[in-house]
Homo-oligomer: A and B are copies of this chain.
Protein backbone atom coordinates (compact mmCIF):
# COMPACT_ATOMS: atom_id res chain seq x y z
CA UNK A 1 0.00 0.00 0.00
CA UNK A 2 2.82 2.44 0.96
CA UNK A 3 4.46 1.53 -2.32
CA UNK A 4 1.27 2.32 -4.23
CA UNK A 5 1.04 5.73 -2.56
CA UNK A 6 4.67 6.39 -3.46
CA UNK A 7 4.03 5.42 -7.10
CA UNK A 8 1.05 7.78 -7.30
CA UNK A 9 3.14 10.61 -5.84
CA UNK A 10 6.00 9.96 -8.27
CA UNK A 11 3.60 9.95 -11.18
CA UNK A 12 2.11 13.24 -9.94
CA UNK A 13 5.57 14.82 -9.57
CA UNK A 14 6.49 13.80 -13.12
CA UNK A 15 3.21 15.17 -14.51
CA UNK A 16 3.65 18.48 -12.67
CA UNK A 17 7.19 18.80 -14.02
CA UNK A 18 6.00 17.95 -17.54
CA UNK A 19 3.19 20.52 -17.26
CA UNK A 20 5.72 23.16 -16.21
CA UNK A 21 8.17 22.39 -19.06
CA UNK A 22 5.46 22.12 -21.75
CA UNK A 23 4.05 25.43 -20.50
CA UNK A 24 7.46 27.14 -20.69
CA UNK A 25 8.81 25.72 -23.92
CA UNK A 26 5.85 24.34 -25.82
CA UNK A 27 5.50 20.73 -26.84
CA UNK A 28 7.98 20.75 -29.75
CA UNK A 29 10.92 22.26 -27.87
CA UNK A 30 10.47 20.30 -24.61
CA UNK A 31 12.80 17.40 -23.82
CA UNK A 32 12.44 14.45 -21.47
CA UNK A 33 15.79 15.26 -19.84
CA UNK A 34 14.53 18.70 -18.75
CA UNK A 35 11.40 17.09 -17.32
CA UNK A 36 13.60 14.59 -15.44
CA UNK A 37 15.65 17.41 -13.89
CA UNK A 38 12.59 19.34 -12.71
CA UNK A 39 10.79 16.23 -11.42
CA UNK A 40 13.86 15.05 -9.52
CA UNK A 41 13.19 11.40 -10.33
CA UNK A 42 15.33 8.74 -12.02
CA UNK A 43 15.07 7.95 -15.71
CA UNK A 44 13.86 4.47 -14.72
CA UNK A 45 11.02 5.90 -12.63
CA UNK A 46 9.93 8.19 -15.45
CA UNK A 47 9.92 5.45 -18.07
CA UNK A 48 8.04 3.16 -15.67
CA UNK A 49 5.12 5.62 -15.79
CA UNK A 50 5.47 7.21 -19.24
CA UNK A 51 6.97 5.71 -22.36
CA UNK A 52 7.56 8.87 -24.42
CA UNK A 53 7.22 12.63 -24.58
CA UNK A 54 3.86 12.14 -26.30
CA UNK A 55 2.77 9.89 -23.45
CA UNK A 56 3.71 12.62 -20.95
CA UNK A 57 1.75 15.22 -22.92
CA UNK A 58 -1.30 12.94 -23.03
CA UNK A 59 -0.99 12.59 -19.23
CA UNK A 60 -1.09 16.36 -18.84
CA UNK A 61 -3.97 16.64 -21.32
CA UNK A 62 -5.98 14.04 -19.37
CA UNK A 63 -5.38 15.74 -16.03
CA UNK A 64 -7.82 18.52 -17.03
CA UNK A 65 -10.55 15.92 -17.41
CA UNK A 66 -10.36 14.63 -13.85
CA UNK A 67 -13.50 16.48 -13.01
CA UNK A 68 -14.67 17.08 -9.53
CA UNK A 69 -18.07 15.44 -8.99
CA UNK A 70 -21.06 17.63 -9.72
CA UNK A 71 -24.46 17.13 -8.12
CA UNK A 72 -27.26 16.09 -10.45
CA UNK A 73 -29.77 18.79 -11.36
CA UNK A 74 -33.34 18.51 -12.56
CA UNK A 75 -32.30 20.55 -15.60
CA UNK A 76 -29.65 18.88 -17.75
CA UNK A 77 -28.91 22.24 -19.37
CA UNK A 78 -28.02 23.58 -15.92
CA UNK A 79 -25.63 20.63 -15.55
CA UNK A 80 -23.91 21.71 -18.79
CA UNK A 81 -23.67 25.29 -17.55
CA UNK A 82 -22.19 23.95 -14.30
CA UNK A 83 -19.58 21.80 -16.08
CA UNK A 84 -18.51 24.90 -18.04
CA UNK A 85 -18.46 27.09 -14.94
CA UNK A 86 -16.50 24.55 -12.88
CA UNK A 87 -13.88 24.25 -15.62
CA UNK A 88 -13.71 28.06 -15.77
CA UNK A 89 -13.02 28.27 -12.05
CA UNK A 90 -10.34 25.56 -12.23
CA UNK A 91 -8.72 27.15 -15.29
CA UNK A 92 -8.26 30.35 -13.31
CA UNK A 93 -6.82 28.57 -10.27
CA UNK A 94 -5.23 25.18 -11.12
CA UNK A 95 -1.82 25.16 -12.94
CA UNK A 96 -2.34 21.59 -14.21
CA UNK A 97 -5.70 22.43 -15.82
CA UNK A 98 -4.10 25.51 -17.34
CA UNK A 99 -1.19 23.50 -18.78
CA UNK A 100 -3.61 20.93 -20.23
CA UNK A 101 -5.67 23.64 -21.92
CA UNK A 102 -2.57 25.29 -23.40
CA UNK A 103 -1.35 21.99 -24.82
CA UNK A 104 -4.81 21.42 -26.29
CA UNK A 105 -4.63 24.82 -27.96
CA UNK A 106 -1.02 24.40 -29.19
CA UNK A 107 -1.71 24.44 -32.93
CA UNK A 108 1.91 23.67 -33.76
CA UNK A 109 2.26 20.55 -31.60
CA UNK A 110 2.82 18.18 -34.48
CA UNK A 111 2.82 14.48 -33.65
CA UNK A 112 0.63 15.12 -30.62
CA UNK A 113 -2.99 14.13 -31.05
CA UNK A 114 -4.84 17.16 -29.63
CA UNK A 115 -8.23 15.86 -30.71
CA UNK A 116 -8.70 13.92 -27.45
CA UNK A 117 -9.51 16.85 -25.15
CA UNK A 118 -11.96 18.36 -27.65
CA UNK A 119 -13.70 14.98 -27.97
CA UNK A 120 -13.50 14.31 -24.21
CA UNK A 121 -15.22 17.61 -23.51
CA UNK A 122 -17.84 17.14 -26.18
CA UNK A 123 -18.96 13.73 -24.83
CA UNK A 124 -20.35 14.77 -21.40
CA UNK A 125 -21.96 17.84 -22.98
CA UNK A 126 -23.53 15.78 -25.75
CA UNK A 127 -24.82 13.13 -23.30
CA UNK A 128 -26.53 15.79 -21.20
CA UNK A 129 -28.03 17.39 -24.31
CA UNK A 130 -29.49 13.98 -25.23
CA UNK A 131 -31.14 13.76 -21.80
CA UNK A 132 -32.26 17.40 -22.00
CA UNK A 133 -33.88 16.60 -25.34
CA UNK A 134 -35.71 13.59 -23.90
CA UNK A 135 -37.18 15.65 -21.07
CA UNK A 136 -38.24 18.48 -23.39
CA UNK A 137 -35.69 21.16 -22.44
CA UNK A 138 -34.47 21.78 -25.99
CA UNK A 139 -35.89 23.62 -28.96
CA UNK A 140 -37.11 21.15 -31.59
CA UNK A 141 -34.38 21.69 -34.21
CA UNK A 142 -31.39 21.08 -31.89
CA UNK A 143 -28.91 18.35 -32.92
CA UNK A 144 -27.19 17.42 -29.62
CA UNK A 145 -23.88 16.33 -31.20
CA UNK A 146 -23.60 19.50 -33.30
CA UNK A 147 -24.53 21.76 -30.41
CA UNK A 148 -22.04 20.04 -28.08
CA UNK A 149 -19.25 20.73 -30.59
CA UNK A 150 -20.27 24.38 -30.89
CA UNK A 151 -20.24 24.82 -27.10
CA UNK A 152 -16.84 23.13 -26.67
CA UNK A 153 -15.21 24.88 -29.63
CA UNK A 154 -16.57 28.31 -28.74
CA UNK A 155 -15.49 27.89 -25.11
CA UNK A 156 -11.94 27.01 -26.23
CA UNK A 157 -11.71 30.31 -28.10
CA UNK A 158 -13.27 32.43 -25.37
CA UNK A 159 -10.69 31.17 -22.85
CA UNK A 160 -7.87 31.85 -25.35
CA UNK A 161 -9.09 35.40 -25.94
CA UNK A 162 -9.41 36.00 -22.20
CA UNK A 163 -5.86 34.75 -21.66
CA UNK A 164 -4.47 36.98 -24.43
CA UNK A 165 -6.30 40.11 -23.28
CA UNK A 166 -6.31 39.85 -19.46
CA UNK A 167 -4.45 36.67 -18.43
CA UNK A 168 -7.83 35.12 -17.48
CA UNK A 169 -8.93 37.93 -15.15
CA UNK A 170 -12.12 38.46 -17.19
CA UNK A 171 -12.70 34.77 -17.98
CA UNK A 172 -15.89 34.36 -15.93
CA UNK A 173 -17.43 37.50 -17.46
CA UNK A 174 -16.65 36.30 -20.99
CA UNK A 175 -17.92 32.76 -20.33
CA UNK A 176 -21.15 34.09 -18.89
CA UNK A 177 -21.60 36.27 -22.01
CA UNK A 178 -20.94 33.26 -24.27
CA UNK A 179 -23.60 31.19 -22.49
CA UNK A 180 -26.12 34.03 -22.75
CA UNK A 181 -25.45 34.13 -26.50
CA UNK A 182 -25.63 30.37 -27.12
CA UNK A 183 -28.43 29.14 -24.90
CA UNK A 184 -31.34 31.07 -26.47
CA UNK A 185 -30.89 29.02 -29.65
CA UNK A 186 -30.82 25.76 -27.67
CA UNK A 187 -33.24 25.98 -24.72
CA UNK A 188 -37.01 26.26 -24.49
CA UNK A 189 -37.72 29.75 -23.14
CA UNK A 190 -39.27 28.45 -19.90
CA UNK A 191 -36.06 26.49 -19.17
CA UNK A 192 -33.87 29.41 -20.24
CA UNK A 193 -35.53 31.67 -17.70
CA UNK A 194 -34.63 29.34 -14.83
CA UNK A 195 -30.95 28.76 -15.65
CA UNK A 196 -28.21 30.22 -13.45
CA UNK A 197 -25.68 31.69 -15.90
CA UNK A 198 -24.36 34.57 -13.83
CA UNK A 199 -20.73 35.23 -13.04
CA UNK A 200 -21.05 34.09 -9.42
CA UNK A 201 -21.98 30.60 -10.59
CA UNK A 202 -18.33 29.54 -11.17
CA UNK A 203 -17.23 29.88 -7.54
CA UNK A 204 -20.56 28.49 -6.24
CA UNK A 205 -20.28 25.33 -8.33
CA UNK A 206 -16.64 24.83 -7.38
CA UNK A 207 -17.36 24.95 -3.66
CA UNK A 208 -20.36 22.66 -4.06
CA UNK A 209 -18.16 20.17 -5.96
CA UNK A 210 -15.44 20.32 -3.28
CA UNK A 211 -17.99 19.59 -0.54
CA UNK A 212 -19.42 16.69 -2.51
CA UNK A 213 -15.93 15.25 -3.07
CA UNK A 214 -15.19 15.48 0.67
CA UNK A 215 -18.51 13.85 1.59
CA UNK A 216 -17.86 10.98 -0.83
CA UNK A 217 -14.33 10.53 0.55
CA UNK A 218 -15.66 10.44 4.13
CA UNK A 219 -18.34 7.92 3.13
CA UNK A 220 -15.67 5.81 1.45
CA UNK A 221 -13.46 5.88 4.58
CA UNK A 222 -16.38 4.73 6.76
CA UNK A 223 -17.46 1.88 4.53
Whole-angstrom distance between the alpha carbons of A184 and B150 in the complex? Answer: 14
Chain B residue numbers with a CB within 8 Å of A38 are: none
Q: Does A102 contact B (CB under 8 A)?
A: yes
Chain B residue numbers with a CB within 8 Å of A182 are: 181-182, 185
Whole-angstrom distance between the alpha carbons of A155 and B102 in the complex? Answer: 17
Q: Please give me the residue from chain B that is nearest to A183 by CB atom.
A: B185
A118 to chain B, nearest CB (A): 5
A77-114 at interface with B (beta carbon < 8 Å): 101-102, 104-108, 114
Q: Does A158 contact B (CB under 8 A)?
A: yes
Assess the A107–B160 pair: CB atoms within 8 A: yes
Assess the A108–B107 pair: CB atoms within 8 A: no
A168 to chain B, nearest CB (A): 11
A: contact size bracket:
35 or more
A164 to chain B, nearest CB (A): 4
Chain B residue numbers with a CB within 8 Å of A160 are: 105, 107, 153, 156-157, 160
Give per-residue flags for A18-57: 1 if the beta carbon is below 8 A from chain B beta carbons, else 0: 0000011110110000000000000000000000000000
Contact of A147 among B105, B147, B181, B186 (CB under 8 A): B181
Q: Does A177 contact B (CB under 8 A)?
A: yes
Chain B residue numbers with a CB within 8 Å of A155 are: 157
Q: Does A130 contact B (CB under 8 A)?
A: no
Chain B residue numbers with a CB within 8 Å of A152 are: 161
Assess the A174–B161 pair: CB atoms within 8 A: no
List 5 A–B pairs whose Cβ atoms lie within 8 Å, in order of A's numbering: A26-B29, A26-B106, A106-B106, A150-B177, A157-B157
Extra contacts, 7 of them, besides A150-B174, A153-B161, A154-B157 (Cβ < 8 A), are A101-B107, A147-B181, A150-B158, A150-B178, A153-B158, A153-B178, A182-B185
